Amino acid sequence: MAITADYHMHSSYSGDSDSPMEDMIRQAIRSGMKQICFTEHQDFDYPPAPDMPSEFWLVNTDAYLYDLVRLQARYAGQIEIRFGIELGLQPHLMKELARYAGAYDFDFIIGSSHVCHGQDPYYPAFFEGRSEEEAYREYFTSILENIKKFKNFDVYGHLDYVVRYGPNKDNEYTYDKYKDIFDAILELLLEHEKGLEINTGGLKRGLRETNPCIAILRRYRRMGGEIITVGSDAHVPQDIGYEFKKAAEILKACGFSYYTTFQHRLPEYHKL
């Protein structure tokens, strides 16, 4: 069976997208999606950047929800539209994140790391003055710090996001180099019944593999992990469902029989 639910996508309610929500929905229907979940960016305390203000990464959640409910009604019977958010995690924000996550009836929450100790790896400055391996290790360690302090999310998104922007991307990157950190991360996710996503957006950005890499997905499954959502990280309509056929093949090869969607923060399983 094909994967027919895209669980990581952004509309113009996210600062880095200009795509109207309705355009994303119409394309999802055309591409055969049965269910989608908008996961707009909410990154509190995003560091000042040369090309955008910090407020760029904050979503007007009330306006977003109003529009989503209106479009849920309009497209009822054609596609299921779920209410999600992508929370940018940082250790010092945990109280603020907890208040926000509890203030809305989200169907689904992605926890993700865009900012590591005050810097986003999207910008080359994160990698200056040290080796690529040192930068990657700091980023992965920060994820472990986040999970130890905050648990109100459902899956961790694009776990190795940093490799999208490294000097050599994922050409010299392997699970084995960072096995100690990755295994600790996966153990915590499993302990707290949290899942992973397989994010195909990295393939669009020239990576050899998805985020996270196949070895991490395989290790998560062998450790007993079953909660796995599939997301394109689409910011424009044409990227919805990007390389989902390949994602299904990867998941099957890693030992997964199902992929996951969420409603009211509860997992639902769909056969691959």
* Residue 37, pLDDT score: 98
Under the banding of pLDDT at 50, 70 and 90, the label for residue 55 is: confident
User: Cα–Cα distance between 205 and 220 in angstroms, integer?
Assistant: 24
The DSSP-derived string for the chain is: ----EEEEE--TTSTT----HHHHHHHHHHTT-SEEEEEEEE-TTPPPBTTB-GGGG---HHHHHHHHHHHHHHTTTT-EEEEEEEEE--GGGHHHHHHHHHHS--SEEEEE-S-BTTB-TTSGGGGTTS-HHHHHHHHHHHHHHHHHH----SEE-STTGGGGTSTTTTTT--GGGGHHHHHHHHHHHHHTT-EEEEETHHHHTT-SS-BS-HHHHHHHHHTT---EEEE--BSSGGGTTTTHHHHHHHHHHTT--EEEEEETTEEEEEE-
Question: Residue 50: pLDDT above 80?
Answer: no
Structural domains in the chain, CATH included, are 5-271 (3.20.20.140)
Average of per-residue pLDDT values in the chain: 96
List of residues 6+ apart from 46 with CB closer than 8 A: 54, 56, 57, 88, 114, 115, 120
Q: What percent of the chain has pLDDT over 70?
A: 98
* Residue 49, pLDDT score: 74
* Residue 53, pLDDT score: 65
Under the banding of pLDDT at 50, 70 and 90, the label for residue 88 is: very high
